[in-house]
Amino acid sequence: MELRLLKELVKKGEGEHVEFKLKSNHPEKIVREVVAFANSGGGKLFVGVGDDKTIKGLKDAEEDEYTLTKAIDKYIFPKISFKKERVPVSTDRDVLVLTIPRSIDKPHYVVDETGNRQAYIRVNDKSIQASREMKEIMRRGRGERDIRFQYGDKEEKLMKLLGEKESVTVDLFASFAGIPRKIASNTLVVMVLARILEVHPQEMIDKFTMSMAYQSN
């Protein structure tokens, strides 16, 4: 990547596919961004760039690259593929650029020292924890096969609820339909995979809406 292109990308700021990190301190936290990109639409991680878009670079980019590569290998499961390059920004400083493609093996997890694992996804310019529903959608959506389901009482109640509300949550649907949360969750997941609903992940709780494609049918 040329410096000119780097400056153009940085000027646009952070977003769904771009994240800035000034330093590689706490690499175990940086891997969250890597996982979020892999679990979403991919993206670029610029190390040596501040949140205020200042391009300071890294004095020892080779060491930072080694540290981050080691952390990605250690803390992410399953393994991900990514590209890395160093872009000189001055005589003694480089910006490290990691390019993470959208993965077909998602969900990927950050696994900590105790063995606990957590998946992350990218929403706008934030990497947030993936809900149970999002992890299930990622897991079951790996193949491109058609998803079939039986349209029954609970699906009818869901459609009625969506006729009254712009969006629904798992808990709202479960309460309205008088069904266990687990069944409500699975119903929403299946209908997202069937492209009848769209899921909108958020920091605290996911929302589900009718898909535009289904409404136009």
Q: Which pLDDT tens digits describe the chain residue by residue (217 residues)?
A: 899 999 999 999 999 999 999 998 888 889 999 999 999 999 999 999 999 999 999 999 999 999 999 999 999 999 999 999 999 999 999 999 999 999 999 999 999 888 899 999 999 999 999 999 999 999 988 765 667 767 889 999 999 999 999 999 999 999 999 999 999 999 999 999 988 999 999 888 999 999 876 655 5
Cβ neighbours around 213 below 10 Å, total: 10
3-class state of residue 131 by DSSP: coil
Taking the C-alpha atoms of residue 216 and residue 204, their distance in angstroms, rounded to an integer, is 30
Rounded (10°) CA dihedral 13, 15, 19, 21? 50
Say what the pTM is: 0.89
Identify the structural domains of the chain with CATH numbers, from first to last: 3-129 (3.30.950.30), 134-216 (1.10.10.10)
3-class state of residue 194 by DSSP: coil
Taking the C-alpha atoms of residue 210 and residue 217, their distance in angstroms, rounded to an integer, is 12
